[in-house]
Amino acid sequence: MSVGRDTVVRRFLRHRLGTAGLVVIALLFAFCFLGPLVYHADQTQTSILAANPAPGTQGHPLGTTDVGFDELGRLMVGGRASLEIGLAAGLLATAIGTLWGAVAGYAGGWLDAVMMRVVDTWIAIPALFLLLVAGTILRPTVGALIVVIGVVSWLVPARLVRAESLTLSNREYVLTMKALGGSGARAIGRHIVPNAIGTVVLNATFQVADAILLVAYVSFLGLGVPFPGTDWGGMLSNGISYTYDGYWWMIVPPGVAIVLVVFAFNVIGDALRDAFELRLEGR
Amino acid sequence: MNFEMPIVRRGMLARRVRPAPVAASVLATLGAGALLISGLSPASAAATAYRSAPHQSTARGAKGGGTVTFAEPPNATPNAIFPIATAGNTAAHNSAIQAELYVPLTFYDATSGKLAFDARASVAKSIVYSNGDKTVTVTLQKLKWSDGSPVTSGGVEFFYNLVKANKAKWANYVGGQFPDNVASFTILSPSSFRLALTSTVNPLWFSGNELSLVTPLPQQAWDVESSGGKVGNYDTTTAGAKAVFNYLNGQDNHLATFGTNKVWKVTDGPFTIGSWTTSGAVTLDKSRTYDGSDAAHLSSVQLLPFASADAEFNVLRAGGLDYGYVPTSDLSQSGYLKSKGYTVKPWNGWAINYAPYNFNNPTLGATLKQLYVRQAIQMAINQPEIAKAVWQGEAAPVYGPVPQSPPSAFLSATQKKNPYPFDPAKGKKLLESHGWRPDSSGIMTCKSAGSGASQCGSGVKAGTVLDMHTLSESGSTQTTNQMEVMQSELSSIGVGFQASYAPLNTVLSETAQCKPTQASCSWQLSFFGTQGSWYFSPSPNGDPLFATTGSANFGSYSNPTADKLAVAATTSANPAALRAWSSYLAVQLPAMWLPLPAYQVSAIKDTLKGVSQDPLAGQTIQRWYLANG
């Protein structure tokens, strides 16, 4: 097993784009979480008389926002929220979907039918619509956004893992364990989920990317992290109001950051897929 | 004694402002005119200051007909037709449309710089005061309904009867005022009626602030108790009037049927409804049956809704609107718009801006009732800075209950001077001197309950956290920025402040008078002033806002001294009465005073003529026309 794991890592690292994605993510995390330790900018008190100077003026490398926040510092704070929500919501969605799909596939029969019809029904409702409804009911906080986005995003992993589970639950080692009196929980926890881990991990990367985009969507619609907090989607939404004023520094940096992080997670996912498939071929 | 005046209309608006040089002169003249009037007898006032607005007839080179597109305020859509407005339906865009469908008894206009009775936009021809200003005789001009019936004093009595029986539901009702102050309504003839009043009134106030609320209604079509019911004289009994009101108000709640409901097809105005969607898109078509002297020039006018000011500006910039507005964040685009054939000019108002506190809120009501708390909060708000930086100079600070700018005879020295200049350190000290201390998150918490001089005050429980939530109207980047700046400024004195956002109609409907035990009393602070919170009648009496019985006293402010001053201002023609009100409430802070933005910075296509930007927020769409070429 350790040989296989080493192979996956090596094959992943040979995927140049995937490796580049990993580096980008690492740099963005460092920028957002370590940056504020070395670059100090007040991100709670507005300074409206210092609103909107261009980059490089008045000690603001990236200018300021419309209420006088330093844009570079804002980018760090916003990125922290976007990455936290995206990562946590993506993992939450993956966890829910994995458990749901594994149980459905393993149980089969009427329970499988009921559980998957729930998925079918839920997936027919646009996630953005659900998020908007939730956004009008709940006061948006980082925690609430994680839960809400996680709850609307678990459907795809549920379907994927269910398909894996259907196959795995008929494998001899699972049937043997059942014949020896092993419980369903043990089968799922010890055999089905671990053996579907390639699919789960691969999907998790896409889930994180999708969750970051969803955060951007809801923030763009005004339902994001409440002031004085922010996230990249909220920053972008705010900046769009100043399109005609030429305040590009309120639009380009958060826009580029969103593109970068989503692209990075996607190429990591691609690299992981290639790495896992090669591992299987190796068997 | 003849008194051919009236003056304006009271309206809960959602509009914006600022003291632009042009508007300042307009308002200054208005203020001076009002002062002049106040100091004169009604008869001489009528001769001196109240004259019909000059008629802007269709100019040479104009072409009749045509369609014009007009932008509605951001995220604020018309939602009512019935002229007897109920709570939540009082926004200016509603009354503007209503005035095009149902001609008001009196219409005033200050576009020319002087307050003027606009006879052509009114049903009233003359208003005569007698019996020591306790009797009012009104003569109507000749006008007819779209069903062919004449507009008569019976239609006015119908309005009076409905309001009298349903005054608690009427959004403009103030206890003791119309219709309470009418002892009897007598029809003298189909074209004249007499009101016997319960006491002497200030004619300026009564004509301008009371009669301007009256709209003759088609009794011959609307006096029914249910859909399909037979027309009768049900309004003559209280029970009947209640049933008729409920029926009509019920029809007014069916937004989806506004364009088709036959009830709203009977009109006497220059326009009729072409279509009305639930999303707020309204088309007004020229009335083919209007027989007055103020017929519409255009074939139709399309009033278009926008979710945000940015969305509106995108359409405007693409040339998709004949009459729109420029968000203050995009004022740098004025040159571009001019090059595309638009004229850009601010529309300023005779208004104030404020956020009402809910004094009956079960959590914070007792705290907000403490004057020192309101003083501390007011001292933490840097209005000049917000006006300059957030509103790009297109707003002006407000320090009291009468219009701050331009200076008028009604503006007290106290309000003019600003009794609570920006001083957050002083505000914080004020809280701390009354037993408040910041908790671990920096928010002030009452540590010393009681009514002593150094304690939190009567009714404030120990442990109360000074953390406010406000519901603000959405759709404007400047409003959002203002809320963010306020949050930041209030946090500096330890006052928590969170804002959530909703469309204007939602904010207005949720900002309701309430009892502490009611679920609807959960709101603590409300903001609906992206375009100004309140546009005044010519006489800027604020009794609807802050008198105990005021219909628009959303936060249930109650102060006996303020009530006495309010009554005095309705009976005395001396502007000193309103100055006393101005001075007292500037100190008492019945609401959080906030900068007043311009109603809007308009962008009007050069081919669209006849447009007036009335500081009283009225619109005379019937006078718009398209120039040839």
Measured between CA atoms, the residue of chain B closest to residue A44 is: B488
Per-residue pLDDT at A262: 92
- Which of B334, B441, B481 to probe by mutation at the A interface, max A CB count within 10 Å? B481
Chain B: nearest CA to A204, how far in angstroms? 33
Tell me which range, A224-228, A271-275, B89-93, B232-236, is most confidently predicted by mean pLDDT: B232-236
Chain B: nearest CA to A245, how far in angstroms? 6
Q: Could you tell me if B129 lies within 8 Å of chain A, comparing CB atoms?
A: no
Q: Please state, rounded to an integer, the average pLDDT across all residues of chain B.
A: 87
Query: Chain B window 323-382: which residues touch A at a Cβ cutoff of 8 Å?
Result: 327, 329-330, 332-333, 336
- Work out the pLDDT band at A6, boundaries 50, 70, 90: low
Per-residue pLDDT at B51: 31
**Using a CB-CB distance cutoff of 8 angstroms, which residues of chain B are in contact with residue A222?**
474, 501
| Number of structural domains found in chain A | 1
Q: Smallest Cβ distance to B310: which of A226, A228, A240?
A: A240
Tokens of A267: 């190429």
**Using a CB-CB distance cutoff of 8 angstroms, which residues of chain B are in contact with residue A44?**
488, 491
Interchain pair A244, B330: CB under 8 A: yes
CA-based nearest residue to B3, from B33, B32, B30, B41: B41
- Which of B330, B337, B488 to probe by mutation at the A interface, max A CB count within 10 Å? B488
Question: Does pLDDT of B8 surpass 70?
Answer: no
Q: CB of B277 within 8 A of CB of B257?
A: no
Chain B: nearest CA to A41, how far in angstroms? 15
Q: Which domain holds residue A191?
A: 5-40+60-280
**Using a CB-CB distance cutoff of 8 angstroms, which residues of chain B are in contact with residue A48?**
385-386, 389-390, 481, 485
CATH number of the domain to which B412 belongs: 3.10.105.10
Q: Could you tell me if A66 lies within 8 Å of chain B, comparing CB atoms?
A: yes
Chain B: nearest CA to A236, how far in angstroms? 13
Interchain pair A45, B492: CB under 8 A: yes
Q: Is residue A230 one of the residues assigned to a domain?
A: yes
Interchain pair B485, A46: CB under 8 A: yes
Per-residue pLDDT at B63: 63
Per-residue pLDDT at A219: 82
Interchain pair B491, A44: CB under 8 A: yes
Q: Is residue B329 one of the residues assigned to a domain?
A: no
Question: Does pLDDT of A271 surpass 50?
Answer: yes
| Helix (H/G/I), strand (E/B), else coil: A220 | helix
Q: Smallest Cβ distance to B485: which of A67, A139, A238?
A: A67
Distance CA B393, CA B328 (A): 9
Q: Is residue B616 one of the residues assigned to a domain?
A: no
Q: What is the mean pLDDT of residues B492-498?
A: 95
- Work out the pLDDT band at B48, boundaries 50, 70, 90: very low
- Work out the pLDDT band at B426, boundaries 50, 70, 90: very high
Chain B: nearest CA to A53, how far in angstroms? 12
- Which of B487, B489, B490 to probe by mutation at the A interface, max A CB count within 10 Å? B487
- Work out the pLDDT band at B117, boundaries 50, 70, 90: confident
Which residue intervals of A125-231 are DSSP H helices?
A: 127-137, 142-152, 155-168, 172-179, 184-186, 193-195, 197-220
Measured between CA atoms, the residue of chain A closest to residue B307 is: A221
Q: Smallest Cβ distance to B474: which of A48, A222, A228?
A: A222
Other CB atoms within a 10 A radius of the CB of residue B331 amount to 18
Q: CB of B166 within 8 A of CB of B242?
A: yes
Give just the sign of the alpha carbon dihedral B396, B402, B403, B406.
Answer: negative
Distance CA A106, CA B629 (A): 76
Q: Could you tell me if A29 lies within 8 Å of chain B, comparing CB atoms?
A: no
| Number of structural domains found in chain B | 1
**Using a CB-CB distance cutoff of 8 angstroms, which residues of chain A are in contact with residue B311?**
none
Q: What is the mean pLDDT of residues B435-446?
A: 95
Size of interface A-B (CB pairs under 8 A): 57
Tell how far CA B321 is from the center of its chain: 25
Chain B: nearest CA to A45, how far in angstroms? 5
Residues in CB range of A161: below 8 A, 6 or more apart: A97, A98, A100, A101, A102, A105, A193, A196, A199, A200
Burial pattern B420-450, b for ≥16 Cβ within 10 A else e, equals bebbbeebbebbbebbbeebeeebbbbeebe
Q: Is residue A46 one of the residues assigned to a domain?
A: no
| Helix (H/G/I), strand (E/B), else coil: A97 | helix
Residues in CB range of B205: below 8 A, 6 or more apart: B539, B541, B569, B570
Distance CA B324, CA B313 (A): 8
Q: CB of B554 within 8 A of CB of B513?
A: yes
Q: What is the mean pLDDT of residues A107-113?
A: 93
Tokens of A263: 């692209």
- Work out the pLDDT band at B273, boundaries 50, 70, 90: very high
CA-based nearest residue to A228, from B480, B165, B244: B480
CATH number of the domain to which A198 belongs: 1.10.3720.10
Q: Could you tell me if A132 lies within 8 Å of chain B, comparing CB atoms?
A: no
Q: Could you tell me if A139 lies within 8 Å of chain B, comparing CB atoms?
A: yes
Q: Is residue A33 one of the residues assigned to a domain?
A: yes
Residue written as token pair 């009283």: B616
Q: Which domain holds residue B490?
A: 351-597
Tens-place pLDDT, residues B590-624: 999 999 999 899 999 999 999 999 888 888 999 99
Tokens of B498: 């969170």
**Using a CB-CB distance cutoff of 8 angstroms, which residues of chain A are in contact with residue B489?**
46
Low-confidence winner among A270-274, B102-106, B334-338 (lowest mean pLDDT): A270-274
Q: Could you tell me if A46 lies within 8 Å of chain B, comparing CB atoms?
A: yes
The residue type found at B208 is G
Please name every residue paired with B596 in a beta bridge, in sequence order, or none if there are none: B396
Beta strand B600-605 with B342-347 is antiparallel
Q: Is residue A52 one of the residues assigned to a domain?
A: no
Question: Does pLDDT of B6 surpass 80?
Answer: no
Per-residue pLDDT at A5: 56
Q: What is the mean pLDDT of residues A213-233?
A: 85
Query: Chain B window 380-439: which residues touch A at a Cβ cutoff of 8 Å?
Result: 385-386, 388-390
Low-confidence winner among B162-171, B190-199, B203-212, B509-518 (lowest mean pLDDT): B203-212
Q: Is residue B330 one of the residues assigned to a domain?
A: no
Distance CA B328, CA B620 (A): 25
Interchain pair A66, B487: CB under 8 A: no
Q: What is the mean pLDDT of residues A181-204?
A: 89
- Which phi and psi (to 5°) does residue B601 adopt? -95, 105
Share of chain B above pLDDT 70, in %: 90
Question: Does pLDDT of B402 surpass 90?
Answer: yes
- Which of A47, A136, A227 to probe by mutation at the B interface, max B CB count within 10 Å? A227
Q: Smallest Cβ distance to B498: which of A66, A226, A238?
A: A226
Per-residue pLDDT at B37: 30
Per-residue pLDDT at B203: 86
Q: Is residue A48 one of the residues assigned to a domain?
A: no
Query: Chain A window 172-231: which residues touch B at a Cβ cutoff of 8 Å?
Result: 222, 226-228
Chain B: nearest CA to A227, how far in angstroms? 7
Per-residue pLDDT at B10: 31
Per-residue pLDDT at A241: 84
The residue type found at B25 is S
- Work out the pLDDT band at B52, boundaries 50, 70, 90: very low
Chain A: nearest CA to B395, how far in angstroms? 15
Other CB atoms within a 10 A radius of the CB of residue B47 amount to 15
Element (H, E) at B306: strand B300-306
CA-based nearest residue to B245, from B165, B136, B146, B322: B165
Per-residue pLDDT at B34: 35
**Using a CB-CB distance cutoff of 8 angstroms, which residues of chain A are in contact with residue B392?**
none
Measure Cα distances from A277 to A95, A202, B430 in Å: 22, 11, 69
CA-based nearest residue to A240, from B69, B313, B623, B263: B313
Q: Smallest Cβ distance to B329: which of A44, A45, A245?
A: A245
**Using a CB-CB distance cutoff of 8 angstroms, which residues of chain B are in contact with residue A244?**
313, 317, 330, 332-333, 336
Residues in CB range of B59: below 8 A, 6 or more apart: B609, B610, B625, B627
Per-residue pLDDT at B406: 73
Question: Does pLDDT of A195 surpass 80?
Answer: yes
Per-residue pLDDT at B130: 94
Q: Could you tell me if A242 lies within 8 Å of chain B, comparing CB atoms?
A: yes
Q: Is residue A47 one of the residues assigned to a domain?
A: no
Residue written as token pair 């339902």: A223
Chain B: nearest CA to A159, how far in angstroms? 37
Tokens of B62: 């104009």
Chain A: nearest CA to B49, how far in angstroms? 43
Interchain pair A51, B313: CB under 8 A: no
Rounded to a whole number, what is the distance in angstroms from the first to the last CA of chain A? 11
Tens-place pLDDT, residues B127-169: 999 999 999 999 999 999 999 999 999 999 999 999 999 999 9
